[in-house]
């Protein structure tokens, strides 16, 4: 069953076509990978889905309902969450408060701060940040902030989670931990996840299906094996499909 559908979406910024007639769909419970060189349009695609940008053409449907053009906070309440590529913690607030924002204003719209706090603590435990719960968010390391970003996105109780390059800047150990965490979260919460990654190994490992973007358009779509052997992809990447990037 299809949860999210992107139909012929185009987005221009002045003279630049960032997203060019892109169509794909994501099934319920799927983990989909989104791949492409810098500037291929991946983050813009996320922005369009989350409502931070409006598409110039085409439509985006969640559960069959068009959501393109809606305000980001409304889209969030419908169950779409996003972990940003450049992490945006609420620096002056504690880790706990950061996650509480998700509980209070996400899909659940929790009214009680006490309940929100309790739930937030649970989620913080799930991402492994329990010992930092009362610290200021800007005191965390990069890896910690990425976990916080995910925790906050989870607190909004999403059906559909977008992870934008959450592995960037992590050591191999941290990457392995993050992959395990994502797998666990996805299965426990029955999430549908779309992941943007440059760390190829991660993408091949986590995602049964991958969409490749290039210059704003869809270049190829398929299993990791299919993608890594696709002539067009190889041409575009000159060998990136085979070995993991550092």
Partner 1 sequence: MTRTRIPEIGVIVAAFAIVASLPWLAGSYMVSFAFSLMMWLALTQSWVLFSGLTGYISLGHAVFFGAGAYVMVLCWGTISFWLAIPLAGIIAGGLALLLGYPCLRVRGPYFVILTFGLAELIKFVVVNIESELGQFSRVVFGGPGVDQLFHVMVGLAAIATLMTYVVRRSRAGVGLRAIRENEEAAETIGVSVARYKAFAFAASAIIPGMVGAVMVLRTTYFEPLQAFSPITSFTIVSIAIIGGGDDAPGPVYGALFLVVLQELLWANWPQLYMIILGLLLVFFVLWSPDGVHGWVRKWQLGGRK
- Identify the CA nearest to 128 among candidates 114, 145, 115, 153: 145
CB of 215 to partner 1, least distance (A): 26
Q: Report the C-alpha gap between 164 and 184 in whole angstroms.
A: 18
User: Any bridge partners for residue 22, and if so which?
Assistant: 9
Binding part of the chain for partner 1, among 23-31, 48-56, 187-195, 199-207 by CB under 8 A, reads: 48-56
Q: Is 76 in the site for partner 1 (CB under 8 A)?
A: yes
Q: Which helix (H) or strand (E) holds 19?
A: strand 16-27
Tokens of 57: 């053409």
Q: Residue 142: in which H helix or E strand, if any?
A: helix 142-155
Contacts (CB under 8 A) with partner 1, residues 151-170: 152-153, 156
Contacts of 100 (CB under 8 A, 6+ apart): 113, 116, 117, 120, 155
> In the bound complex, what is the minimum distance in angstroms from residue 70's beta carbon to partner 1?
12
Contacts with partner 1 by CB under 8 A: the residue count is: 40
| Touching partner 1, residues 96-125 (CB under 8 A) | 96-97, 100-102, 104-107, 109-113, 116
In this chain, which of 71, 184, 232, 242 binds partner 1, going by CB under 8 A? 71
d(C-alpha 80, C-alpha 157), whole Å: 9
Q: Are 123 and 99 in contact (CB under 8 A)?
A: yes
Q: How far is the CA of 237 from the CAs of 36, 193, 203, in angstroms?
A: 9, 24, 15
Q: Does residue number 192 form part of the binding site for partner 1 (CB under 8 A)? A: no
Q: Among candidates 126, 149, 130, which has minimal Cα distance to 138?
A: 149
Q: Does 93 bind partner 1 (CB under 8 A)?
A: yes
Q: Which of 13, 16, 91, 141 binds partner 1 (CB under 8 A)?
A: 91
Cβ at position 75, least distance to partner 1 in Å: 8
Contact between 72 and partner 1 by CB under 8 A: the answer reads yes
At closest approach, how far in Å is the CB of 198 from partner 1?
A: 22
Quote the least distance from Cβ 192 to partner 1, whole Å.
18
Contact residues: partner 1, CB under 8 A: 50-52, 71-73, 76-77, 81-82, 84, 88-94, 96-97, 100-102, 104-107, 109-113, 116, 134-136, 139, 152-153, 156
């Amino acid at each position: 069953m299809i949860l999210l559908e992107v139909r012929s979406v185009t987005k221009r910024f002045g003279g630049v076509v960032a997203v060019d007639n892109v169509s794909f769909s994501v099934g319920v419970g799927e983990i989909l990978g989104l791949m492409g060189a810098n500037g291929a349009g991946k983050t813009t695609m996320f922005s369009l889905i989350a409502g931070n940008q409006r598409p110039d053409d085409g439509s985006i449907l969640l559960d069959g309902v068009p959501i393109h053009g809606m305000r980001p906070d409304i889209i969030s309440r419908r169950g779409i969450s996003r972990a940003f590529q450049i992490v945006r913690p609420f620096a002056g607030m504690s880790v706990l408060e950061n996650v509480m924002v998700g509980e209070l204003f996400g899909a659940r719209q929790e009214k009680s701060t006490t309940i929100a706090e309790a739930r937030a603590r649970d989620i913080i435990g799930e991402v492994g940040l329990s010992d930092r719960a009362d610290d200021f968010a800007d005191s965390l390391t990069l890896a910690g902030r990425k976990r916080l970003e995910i925790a906050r996105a989870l607190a909004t109780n999403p059906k559909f989670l977008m992870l934008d390059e959450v592995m960037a800047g992590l050591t191999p150990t941290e990457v392995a931990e993050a992959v395990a965490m994502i797998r666990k979260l996805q299965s426990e919460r029955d999430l549908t996840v779309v992941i943007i990654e440059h760390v190829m190994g991660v993408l091949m490992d986590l995602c049964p299906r991958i969409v490749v973007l290039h210059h704003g358009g869809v270049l190829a779509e398929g299993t990791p094996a299919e993608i890594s052997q696709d002539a067009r992809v190889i041409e575009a990447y000159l060998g990136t499909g085979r070995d993991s990037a550092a």
